Amino acid sequence: AQSVTQPDIHITVSEGASLELRCNYSYGATPYLFWYVQSPGQGLQLLLKYFSGDTLVQGIKGFEAEFKRSQSSFNLRKPSVHWSDAAEYFCAVGIDNTDKLIFGTGTRLQVFP
- By beta-carbon proximity to other proteins, the closer residue of 15 and 24 is 24
Q: Are 12 and 107 in contact (CB under 8 A)?
A: no
Q: Are 97 and 68 in contact (CB under 8 A)?
A: no
Examine residue 74 and tell whether it contacts other proteins (CB under 8 A): no
Contacts of 33 (CB under 8 A, 6+ apart): 23, 25, 49, 50, 65, 67, 74, 91, 92, 93, 94
Examine residue 76 and tell whether it contacts other proteins (CB under 8 A): no
- By beta-carbon proximity to other proteins, the closer residue of 87 and 106 is 106
Single out the residue of 23, 25, 27, 34 in contact with other proteins (rule: CB under 8 A): 34
Binding site for other proteins (CB under 8 A): 4, 32, 34, 36, 41-46, 49, 51, 90, 92, 94, 99-106
